[in-house]
Amino acid sequence: MAMEATLLGVIIMSFRTEDDIEEYAGITYKMMAADIFETFGRPVNYYFNMKGIGDGLGFGHNGVELSIGISILDDYEDYTKPIEAYGFARFSYTWEEDMEERMPLPDFVLFLKDACRVFCELHPEETEKAQAALAKAVATVEKMQAAHLEWKKAHPEA
């Protein structure tokens, strides 16, 4: 793997294997988010993940979970708040009750775009299909973000 840090602090890497993605994820994202980011490396998982997000639910791999929307209600077992109140994506491990990572939805969109970029570098032949899947997922997340902003406007105290 070729890797260099530029003056701006941006990491430039070339991706040849899925282990490169693992390393990049470890440098770029927090622990749980990095675990999820790694799973985007394999084509079968990439489309699986993007579909889960496009459906507004999230997904899980071996207990490493990403929840958005209604799945967050299940995670917290709190059904009093509406879905729009949660303006973030939640990363968690099923075997750790008291650990989680949150990522605001706008950041999450960037996260997805980054995953798509890395995936396309690794599998350039899949670029078109991958971007179509990304577009669907991003549309869902942006819709959720819009709903969240509206909810926030109606509930400024929350």
Partner 1 sequence: MAIYLRGLSYEVKGMRDVAPSPLVLKAGSHVVDVAFGAQTPTTLNLTDAEFGDEYYEQLYIVDTPAQYDGPLKFPSTAKGSVRAAGKAVNGIHAAKKAGVPGDALVDMLGEVDLAMRATLGVYEDLSLTARNDAEARLMLAMQGCPANYHKHPGVHQIYENAESVFSGVAPGTFVGPDGLCYGAPYVARWREGISAETRDWMSVAKMLELISGWSVYMGPSGGDSGPAGWLERTLGAIGDMIVSTAHAQGRRLGGSRGQFARRGGLKTPKRGAGSNPRRRPVGRNGSRAHTQTHSRRPVKSNRKIKFRGAKFSSKDAHNHFFNGEGVRTNGTFNGGHTTTTYARDVAASGARPLGSAPHPRVRGVYENRYQPRKQAGSQGPGGVRMGGRFGKAETKTVVDTAIRSARQVMRDMKQALRNGMMRPKFQPNAPYQTFNGYTKSGVKIKFHVSGHGNGSYTVRSYYYVF
DSSP code, position 59: E
Tokens of 50: 């993007």
Check residue 147 for interaction with partner 1 (CB under 8 A): no
Which of 105, 109, 129, 107 has the alpha carbon at shortest distance from 119?
129
Per CB under 8 A, contacts with partner 1 among 64-93 are 67, 70-71, 73-74, 77, 79, 81-83, 93
| Contact yes or no for 103/115 (Cβ under 8 A) | no
List the one residue from 3, 5, 11, 99 that touches partner 1 (CB under 8 A): 99
Smallest gap from residue 43 Cβ to partner 1 (A): 11
Which amino acid is residue 106, in one-letter code? P
CA angle, 89 then 76 then 91, to 5°: 30
Contacts with partner 1 by CB under 8 A lie at 19, 22-23, 26, 31, 34-35, 42, 44-45, 48, 51-52, 55, 57-63, 67, 70-71, 73-74, 77, 79, 81-83, 93-96, 99
